[in-house]
Structure 1
């Protein structure tokens, strides 16, 4: 039986780890005990900033720490499978940044490992736990806008090309779809489920990752999602769900909204951020659950199948680096 206070280990010290760790410290039941980085000096600097007791120069040292209960994997996508699998094999529960892996096969391997070892595993799709997104899902499920027919969502910004940058480097899992496109795809999945068909177009960067993408997800009886993402053009990061009896507009940024408009009526919420998904992990792990009912492992696998199908149509194959 785990104690109520869960000791967390953070693998990597980049921007996302910095922001999420700051939010971890706001959640009851969380003690950020350890951090690792390939450079011990960076781990120590991160530890000092966030009040973390232990700093390691290798993630394997963190995984060997018997006092760590939960591991948050915040490395670039290309390392997610390696680190998350090692954490599960070390007997740790895992929260892994999205996209959970580079390929469906890798994701299936992580899910099988977690289930075989009876350990908690969740992809860090924080949008699912935003209070307004929870409201959107409930409203759509309860026919507040009738039958959902169309979803439109975009996420893009200009990011200067640099072959060594993680957003452009193939070995790091770079490209628009895995980093940005996963948000609109996951939103469509949350409301309409896994599509019957996927159609994608896009352009390749010199590093053979997708620079941008347009994706059409098709569902039974003509329902569809029109989604786009880009690392070369800036979009308004809004979303709209249109039904037979109304519409829901999700304000920018739709992946962490503070405002939605439902059939002309505004709803607001200032309590966004990463704390909601951290609370979910704490509640599930302390209850002995091995996955979240709001962000199931089957959901993660379904989104990965859609992303992989789109990537293959654009000409991106991560099996060469996975």
Structure 2
């Protein structure tokens, strides 16, 4: 199904859609937000009123039955991504789905099969791919600014109440039946997807997770290694049990002539070589998913490629499954 205009419905108009993504649906050419859905009818109605959205629903089926809507943005927690995505594809709708795309790789495989069977269009919201900061990192790599690539070292260490996550009582991120498996499942997809975007497909990967804390149901430490086709070695460390003063978000790409350093959740990238030291600072868009949504609309309208396909998200979920295997 091709259309000159993408008419959106949001399933799950929660926090992530308030500023990061929802308003962007009306800021992109050939794109309009028509309806939102949330099981709490009062909250759905409130969102629609505050964001000037014409329609709201408390049942996903009612939104999916609206024939004027041709694209669905799934912004619920991961446990319901697969069900909603399958339902939307079977209604002939385009799909934009939050990360992680599913709870695990088996679900991702099911989603890929449905996309292929239906000839549908689905984009995963790995929006950092489209941000100027990471486009700059890719440009530096492609220009061989640090020579031949050798290794990538990534650390994301946070406390038990990470500064990178809005904390609430009963946070779904620490319920594995809803999130898949703790803060690693919430934050690492951004990082690992960028590694695939920057360096291509892996040759092999291996890792493990630990539950170091008492009375917790999800891993709080994860370690993983990826070997890429160009013999680049990635080593990642995720720890969600350090003291606040030891929190770190750092990625370092080492080459034969220097290194590139940046934070996945920051706004600067630095290049260090013998001949020069450069730092680039970027102001992220107010609606941070705007660049990815713009690319998604072009894909849905047949004027651009898929900016984040399910095939690559499946590889990502296989890596996450591997890294999250808990050792006792």
TM bucket normalised to smaller: 0.7 to 0.9
Cα RMSD (Å): 2.4
Output one character per residue of 1:25-73: Cα deviation in whole Å (capped at 9) or x when no partner: 3222221111101111111011111111110001111111111111111
Give the counterpart of 2:210 among 202, 215, 222. 202
State which of 278, 283, 296 in structure 2 corresponds to 1:265: 278
Q: Return 125-134 or 229-238, whichever deviates more.
A: 229-238
Mapped to 1, the partners of 2:186 and 2:115 lie a distance apart of 24
Equivalence for 1:165? 171
Q: Does the CA-based 8 Å contact 2:154-2:236 persist in structure 1?
A: yes
258, 262, 265: which is aligned to 1:246? 258
Distance 1:275 1:142 in 2: 26
- TM-score, normalised relative to structure 2: 0.86
Distance, in Å, in 2 between the alignment partners of 1:221 and 1:43 is: 48
Report deviation, 1:108.
1.1
Q: What is the rounded CA distance, in whole Å, between the counterparts of 1:85 and 1:77 in structure 2?
A: 13
8 Å contact kept, 1:176–1:212: no
Per-residue CA distance 1:128-155 (angstroms, 9 max, x = gap): 1112212212321332212222212233
User: TM-score, with normalisation over the residues of structure 1?
Assistant: 0.87
Deviations 1:151-186 (A, max 9, x none): 122334435598942011121124122101222222
Q: 1:162 to 1:15 in 2, by over 3 A?
A: closer
Contact 2:219 2:326 in 1 (8 A): no
Give the distance between the partners of 1:314 and 1:191, measured in 2 at CA. Answer: 30
1:103 is displaced (CA, Å) by 1.2
* Gapped regions of structure 2 (runs ≥ 5): 162-166
Are the structure 2 counterparts of residues 162 and 210 from structure 1 closer, same or farther at C-alpha, using a change threshold of 3 Å?
farther
Counterpart of 1:223?
Answer: 232
**Aligned in 2, Cα 1:24/1:221: closer, same or farther, shift over 3 Å?**
closer
Match of 1:212 among 221, 224, 243: 221
User: After alignment, is 232-241 or 62-71 more displaced?
Assistant: 232-241
CA distance in 2, matches of 1:29, 1:204: 49
Assess if the C-alpha contact under 8 Å between 2:146 and 2:256 holds in 1.
Answer: yes
Deviation string, structure 1 residues 210-241 (Cα, Å, up to 9, x no partner): 22322222346863222233443453222221
Q: Which of 275, 283, 287 is matched with 2:298 structurally?
A: 283
Aligned pairs for 1:1-322 (under 5 A) are: 2-19=2-19, 20-160=21-161, 164-173=170-179, 174-192=181-199, 193-203=201-211, 206=215, 208-219=217-228, 223-233=232-242, 235-250=247-262, 252=263, 254-255=264-265, 257-263=266-272, 264-272=277-285, 273-287=288-302, 292=306, 294-314=307-327
